[in-house]
Amino acid sequence: MSSSSTSGATLADRVLAGDPRAIARAISLIEDDEAAAAGLVGRIFARTGRAYLIGVTGPPGVGKSTLVDRLVSGLRRRLRTVGVVAVDPTSPFSGGAILGDRIRMQMHADDSGVFIRSMATRGHLGGLARTTDEAALVLDAAGKDVVIVETVGVGQDEVEIARTADVTVLVLVPGTGDEVQALKAGIMEIADVFVVNKADREGADRMVASIESTLALESFGEGKWRPPVLKTQATTGQGVSELLETLDRFREASAPQQPERRRGRTAARLREILSAQFGRHLDDHVLGAEERDRIVEAIATRRLDPYTAAADIMRRALNK
């Protein structure tokens, strides 16, 4: 126990010094060991909150990672240090995260101002939102000026992650006009900037128009940011400097709202941590598996209603 907390302290110090091997180790810890991660976060947290957090999301295969690489290069030219957390869908057939990692590591391998880490979509203790959030904290603590979080914007989890960034970029591609309508309900609202990537493909302008017409249905109050729709070609880098300029403009325009946005994220995280801990407290100290089964059975057979059951469990939990 004491040896792990000693090495934890050392690890935190090395993260704060920006040591890439310590960053890698810390992120592995976050993925594998929730309790150790909590200790680490406790040691680095006071030194976080300085990085600007960019969320890049969108359907699978639209070119998010290619675009992120271009953003990294552009940011480096502007002398900003960058950390990337990419949640890539992992498939044993495509190679998923590992392949993406290797390609990108090559591109920025010799640059100590860049740290890129891919994570698998599945198997996150305590959920994907916790892991990406804490990995971003590590990169922030390590002194990266900008942290980019890439997620596949399909599930609610990913939408939540994107929502928590300082700016959210939604990447789409031509020929998915119908999808825009479907996406609208969940993910359209969280976009601060739209990107139609693969602009070399047929239908890019139609896609832009389709997004614009969806946006036209919404009212943007005076002084309120209206999400711009940009075209990029990530494979050649075309449109990327415009995207970077747009991100700068957004950062400036949203500066007054940023503290509020960050507070929202903090509140959500605190809630998540509390509900996870409360759930564990219930499991460990209040309700054994057997009793839980009995209660569930009573509810299923209509001898008990779920609200009365919950109120009773609550009462007992609070008395523990």
Ligand X SMILES: Nc1nc2c(ncn2[C@@H]2O[C@H](COP(=O)(O)OP(=O)(O)OP(=O)(O)O)[C@@H](O)[C@H]2O)c(=O)[nH]1
Site for ligand X, rule CB under 6 A: 60-66, 88-89, 152, 197-198, 200-201, 233-235
- Burial letters for 157-188: b for 16+ Cβ neighbours within 10 Å, e otherwise? bbbbbbbbbbbbbbbbbbebbeebeebeeebb
Using CB under 5 A as the binding criterion, the count of chain residues that bind Mg ion stands at 3
The reply on whether position 88 binds Mg ion by CB under 5 A is: yes
Compute the least distance from the CB of residue 167 to ligand X, in Å. Answer: 18
Compute the least distance from the CB of residue 61 to ligand X, in Å. Answer: 5
Closest residue (Cβ) to Mg ion?
Answer: 65
The reply on whether position 246 binds Mg ion by CB under 5 A is: no
Backbone angles phi, psi at 56, to 5 degrees: -120, 120
CB 139 within 8 A of CB 83: yes
Sheet holding 52-58, edge to edge: 114-120, 82-88, 146-152, 52-58, 167-172, 193-196, 229-231
Distance CA 27, CA 234 (A): 28
Segment lying near Mg ion (by CB under 5 A), choices 44-52, 65-73, 171-179, 198-206: 65-73
Closest residue (Cβ) to ligand X?
Answer: 63
DSSP code, position 201: S
Identity of the residue, 40 or 71, whose beta carbon is nearer to Mg ion in the bound complex = 71
Compute the least distance from the CB of residue 238 to ligand X, in Å. Answer: 8
Identity of the residue, 64 or 144, whose beta carbon is nearer to Mg ion in the bound complex = 64
Distance CA 133, CA 269 (A): 9
CB 168 within 8 A of CB 57: yes
DSSP code, position 39: H
Answer for which of 57, 65, 168, 233 binds Mg ion (CB under 5 A) is 65
Segment lying near Mg ion (by CB under 5 A), choices 56-64, 118-126, 184-192, 224-232: 56-64
Identity of the residue, 88 or 101, whose beta carbon is nearer to Mg ion in the bound complex = 88
DSSP, collapsed to helix, strand or coil, labels residue 146 as: strand
Closest residue by Cα to residue 87 from 65, 118, 116, 62: 118
Q: At 132, which helix (H) or strand (E)? A: helix 128-141
Identity of the residue, 31 or 88, whose beta carbon is nearer to Mg ion in the bound complex = 88
Residue 133 binding partner per list ligand X, Mg ion, none, with a CB distance cut-off of 5 to 8 Å that depends on partner kind: none
Residue 294 binding partner per list ligand X, Mg ion, none, with a CB distance cut-off of 5 to 8 Å that depends on partner kind: none
Distance CA 96, CA 119 (A): 9
Compute the least distance from the CB of residue 173 to ligand X, in Å. Answer: 8
DSSP, collapsed to helix, strand or coil, labels residue 148 as: strand
DSSP code, position 130: H
Residue 197 binding partner per list Mg ion, ligand X, none, with a CB distance cut-off of 5 to 8 Å that depends on partner kind: ligand X
Identity of the residue, 23 or 196, whose beta carbon is nearer to ligand X in the bound complex = 196
Identity of the residue, 105 or 274, whose beta carbon is nearer to ligand X in the bound complex = 105
Compute the least distance from the CB of residue 143 to ligand X, in Å. Answer: 26
Compute the least distance from the CB of residue 154 to ligand X, in Å. Answer: 9
Residue 179 binding partner per list ligand X, Mg ion, none, with a CB distance cut-off of 5 to 8 Å that depends on partner kind: none
The residue ranges that bind Mg ion (CB under 5 A) are 64-65, 88
